[in-house]
């Protein structure tokens, strides 16, 4: 029995935006010449606090991008926001990459480097100042940024954890 294409179905993936952050081409020299393979770093976000990233390798570029997108959709995180900015300053380190993020007043915009900026915009953060300190490896920058975003806590959560409120 064929499935009715007119039936209403809710697709969560339709509101997600996918962005290619980095593509790397590597070559292996073999008897017949060079054999190329590709790795892709893909970012997926909805602009409302949910974001994920995927890193995949394949012999074809389109396959690497597709696999990275699937991995990003599987690894989605929900980020704590406070209006259009982050709740507090945070500084994290992943391997050689360090990321510093500070909340900014309304109207400031996203002040950040390329990879960090893409992630913050995919989350839906409008006002923040960020600085990439240390390494310029794209994958480590992304992992450090995600570590920083996952370390964010709202004021109410901190008070509840300390037993104040």
| Mean pLDDT of the region 12-33 | 89
Structural domain spans, the chain: 12-77, 79-161
- Residue 126 DSSP SS3: coil
Class of domain 79-161: alpha beta
Nearest to 61 by CA among 33, 39, 34: 39
> Thinking of the domain 12-77, which architecture would CATH place it in?
2-Layer Sandwich (3.30)
Share of the chain above pLDDT 90, in %: 74
pLDDT tens per residue across span 78-129? 998 888 999 999 999 999 999 999 999 999 999 999 899 999 999 999 999 9
Fold agreement between 12-77 and 79-161: no
CB–CB of 52/72 below 8 Å?
A: yes
pTM: 0.86
**Interatomic CA distance for residues 141 and 96, integer angstroms:** 9
Q: Which residue has the higher pLDDT, 165 or 56?
A: 56
CB–CB of 164/157 below 8 Å?
A: no
């Amino acid at each position: 029995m064929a499935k009715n294409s007119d039936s209403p179905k809710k697709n969560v993936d339709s509101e997600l935006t996918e962005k290619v952050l980095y593509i790397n081409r590597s070559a292996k020299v073999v008897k017949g010449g060079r054999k190329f393979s590709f790795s892709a770093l893909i970012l997926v976000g909805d602009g409302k606090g949910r974001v994920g990233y995927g890193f995949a390798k394949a012999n074809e570029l389109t396959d690497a991008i597709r696999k990275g997108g699937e991995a990003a959709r599987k690894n989605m995180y929900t980020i704590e926001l406070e209006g259009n900015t982050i709740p507090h300053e945070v500084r994290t380190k992943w391997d050689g990459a360090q990321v510093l993020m500070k909340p900014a007043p309304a109207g400031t915009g996203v002040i950040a480097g390329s990879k960090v900026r893409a992630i913050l915009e995919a989350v839906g953060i409008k006002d923040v100042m960020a600085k990439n300190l240390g390494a310029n490896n794209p994958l480590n920058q992304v992992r450090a940024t995600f570590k920083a975003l996952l370390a964010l806590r709202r004021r109410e959560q901190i008070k509840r954890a300390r037993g104040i409120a």
